[in-house]
Chain A
């Protein structure tokens, strides 16, 4: 009963719906629009003839039935429980033209003859409109309001649909043939093949010397060296440091022009994947990074996450200068490899609690920073709700944690995408009310990156108390992660119910382009205090875990990793995570 039109999946109407539409003019559900009640503003949509109506079945007088339907033709309400008795079906079958009804509690259309849900684009659009804007306040004509909410059908210009291209396997052209031969080091040859098989360690595992409190850098480097798309990019010679230096030397001969973090990354990749197992000192890279992030240039301990962000910026800047490409606001990541790999898009909905007007913004992000709960039991946030559907501000309605009190990554993500009441000191300016009102804010993920980096906020800096502290609370993280429940499409579906959305096709593209399943491949852990601590990275290669502690690489059991104190977790799209075979040394 569904067909694809331009990539949009639209459920086909049943014959009764078609019949009804043809006999009742262009807007057959117009009269229902006045009966759409939304309470609280933005919550569930219901159908009530009077605001305080208690719907009951016209035949059996019961209001306590679980499914009550109002006939769209004559407004009579009936119950529907197909096994016991269905007064709705009786009504539908007895009077032709009265087959279509609407669920009074969900505002969803139903065909009582077919026993199945049916969809009407205009009706669904009207319901969604009512849920986002107070119905009585519309003064504009024909329902077209200047709403920023994407429900209105207008999409932000920066989210153009990307054209799909056919797959073509890559073949090097003549120029690439030559450059490959000149400057590449063979991965496997007679000298180092024996080295690899003797140590039985996978490719690219090499210790990094600590150059003076540089474990923050080493830990992130180890994670990046094994980030599949990044590794492939550099090992595939997509940024050739000799060519890049040559080009820059030609343009301007000043010292600064030769600063290129991507070139230094390329050098590290070459060194680490050369087969040499002796620990490597990334001194050149450190020096380059100091020049880039001058304020952090010292031998003091730094924050690994700060370094990560700074490094991505460094790779981006240099590329931008070269190619004069600015980062597309859509976060499509066409600007540089760093953004291509890590950049996703977050969606933020802020809804006025007085009138329901919702403001939607899209922001690119290279990682997601998650809060750890302040204390066990999850009683910290009593004013937040599961979705924008309900605003239960009940002190005794404590939201229980899964797994009985242990913090999990999924729990943090769920909290991240939960609708939150903004405090009374953070009133949001509502364009409809034209004053600052209390609002609900909800985050969701519009577009997933190739690699998701989750940063756990373990370092609390309190400006009030002028002190910082570290949160050592254990966080459980899965090895396989499905991001589907945190996508905008899922969050919206849970907010509005079963609807056809005008932008459904686009939302589906965003989540169907690439799968939502991710695999963990690197964990950066921190041990110790805020001012005196140590970073260690655990890498997952060929389904084995390796501990990278500066210059020392050891194979560890996965239980060690599960028990570790995660600070940054790196997940890659499952389709990009190749479960490499055990035999590394064979051709």
Chain B
């Protein structure tokens, strides 16, 4: 059982002929391979902390845990709770900045 951890998964799904990679997929892979995704994630983290978004989400989670009790909350609960509000409250400036960065990256990667 221990050695099977390093065994790669059986490549059955990949042989599906009808499945074309989406544009999102292609871009995502390019971002990861070049290391740009990691840089963007770090930038995003910094921006979301600066504008207080992280603190807001933290407060939401805290309030929820307080209400439900520490032992009755799971990670999935919290993700479910803050995902819609989180997505909605990202400042436009942050979105714009990241989009610009991705645009610049795509132009340089000459897709």
Contacts and interface: CB of A to CB of B under 8 A. Distances in A.
Interface of A: 1-2, 24-25, 30-32, 34-35, 49, 52, 54, 58-59, 61-64, 67, 72-77, 82-83, 110, 114-117, 386, 389-390, 392, 394, 397, 399-400, 402
Contact of B71 (A1, A77, A386, A402): A1
Given A76-B9, A400-B50, A392 B75 contact: no
Contact of B79 (A52, A82, A114, A389): A82
A59 B76 contact: no
Interface pairs A-B: 7 shortest CB-CB: A116-B74, A115-B76, A31-B5, A64-B28, A390-B42, A76-B9, A115-B74
A54 B76 contact: no
Given A74-B4, A83-B80, A116-B76, A399 B25 contact: no
Nearest to B12: A58
Contact of A117 (B9, B14, B75): B75
Given A34-B6, A397-B43, A400-B50, A24 B33 contact: no
B5 A75 contact: yes
B14 A61 contact: yes
SS of B interface (majority): helix
Contacts of A52: 33
B3 to A, nearest CB: 7
Contacts of A34: 6
Given A63-B28, A392-B43, 16 more contacts: A24-B2, A31-B2, A35-B5, A54-B29, A61-B13, A61-B21, A62-B25, A63-B25, A67-B79, A72-B5, A74-B7, A75-B4, A75-B6, A82-B80, A115-B74, A115-B76
- Residue of B46, B71, B75 ringed by the most chain A CB atoms within 10 A: B75
SS of A interface (majority): loop
B70 interface: yes
A399 B70 CA distance: 36
B80 to A, nearest CB: 6
A74 B25 contact: no
Interface residues of B, number: 35
Given A1-B71, A73-B1, A386-B49, A49 B29 contact: no
Contacts of B19: 61
A518 to B, nearest CB: 19
Contacts of A59: 13
Contacts of B80: 82-83
Nearest to B31: A64
B59 to A, nearest CB: 14
Contacts of A58: 9, 13
Nearest to A39: B38
Given A83-B80, A114-B74, A31 B3 contact: yes
A31 B6 contact: yes
A34 B32 CA distance: 21
8 contacts: A24-B1, A30-B2, A61-B25, A67-B79, A75-B8, A77-B9, A110-B75, A392-B42
A390 B43 CA distance: 10
Interface in B71-104: 71, 74-77, 79-80
Contacts of B77: 115
A77 B7 CA distance: 12
